[in-house]
A and B are shown apart, each in its own frame.
Chain A
Amino acid sequence: MPAPVKSKQRVLTIVLTILGCLLITFFGLRAFHAFKKFNGHRPPPGQVETDVELIRDWMTVPFIARMYAVPEKIIFDALEILPRENRDKSLEEINREYYPETDGLAMQIVKAAILAHQPPPKAAPPPAPFPSPTPAAP
């Protein structure tokens, strides 16, 4: 039996294999979790978004207005700010500038304004009347 030789190639083999395994485990699990989170809640083509939980800090008011098909004025009015100076600002910037005392207040206001503007969910149609037994013909 030859004595084990610690060559550079051997070290490289071990390092690459271990690093590869670690990356596979780490990113594989994360990719799997991301894949599991997919669901079918996106609106079908031609319909507007209704889920206000998808609003993010980086979004601007005109963008949100378009996404949820709500007039910009309603959102600006709810925030009590002028449209002209604030069209390009993200919700985070608006919050920092106009509501510095409360984190996330601008987003809450926008969510509430959109929810208030959305039509109430359609009531489920009443169940079909149970067919009454028809009397047998004499």
Chain B
Amino acid sequence: MSEYLLTQVINYGAPLLAIIVLIGGLGVPLPCTVLVIAAGAFARQGILPWHTTAILSLVSVVIGDALSYSLGYYSRDLVLRRFSETPRWLQAEQSFQKWGPLSIFFSRFLVTAIALPVNLLSGTSLFPFRKFFAYDFLGETVWIFGYGGLGYLFGSQWELVNEFLSNFGGLVLGVILFFIGIKQGMQWLKKQQRKVTPAG
């Protein structure tokens, strides 16, 4: 898939890349990060104009994210019918209001695997759209200019950059899961201690 899309990006340039990242923003699993890094390298080789490519891709991916946010927003009733007023759902909503901005920002470029769930949850939990847009735009700017910039900087070594970054994203996801696990464990231990020494 990546190889086919790379050939097509060479042939059709920035407009095709913009369409691909828009579809990626909607949640279709496409190798968008690979293409953004490669596009940076292509810009260095003079194949793509870097400014048009970067701006078109940024606008497209933000539109894609906004559409998946609205998907969550308009499917709120369906979700609430299933989970409404359950303590778990209320807890999830509260914690998203607290951690939402960070999740939105970092899931744009560092842990892209959770980008779609974050978009949907933002909409479903009625996270303010303006705030969503601001963090989304910032995160996507880092993705397009940062990752594309690395491709530009490393030129023909962009495949190594991609290999490193995709593994680094997995590493960060592992660290996040590990710390959530530790936090859960500490909460569980506290509960156990309260059971052993009841207050009175």
Contact = CB atoms under 8 A, between A and B. Distances in A.
Interface of A: 2, 5, 7, 9-10, 12-28, 30-31, 34-35, 37-39, 41-43, 45, 49, 51, 54, 56-60, 62-63, 66-67, 88, 90, 92
A29 B156 CA distance: 23
A62 B181 CA distance: 51
B175 A13 contact: no
B56 interface: no
A42 B188 CA distance: 52
Contacts of B3: 56-58, 90, 92
Interface of B: 2-4, 6-7, 10-11, 44-47, 154-157, 160, 163-164, 167-171, 173-182, 184-185, 187-188, 191-192, 195-196
B168 A16 contact: no
Contacts of B184: 9, 12-13, 16
A51 B156 CA distance: 10
Contacts of B4: 58
11 contacts: A2-B195, A16-B184, A17-B181, A24-B175, A34-B164, A42-B154, A43-B155, A60-B7, A63-B47, A90-B7, A92-B3
The A interface is mostly helix, strand or loop, or mixed, namely helix
Contacts of A62: 10
Nearest to B162: A34
Contacts of B157: 38-39, 41-42
B176 to A, nearest CB: 8
A36 to B, nearest CB: 10
A90 B191 CA distance: 61
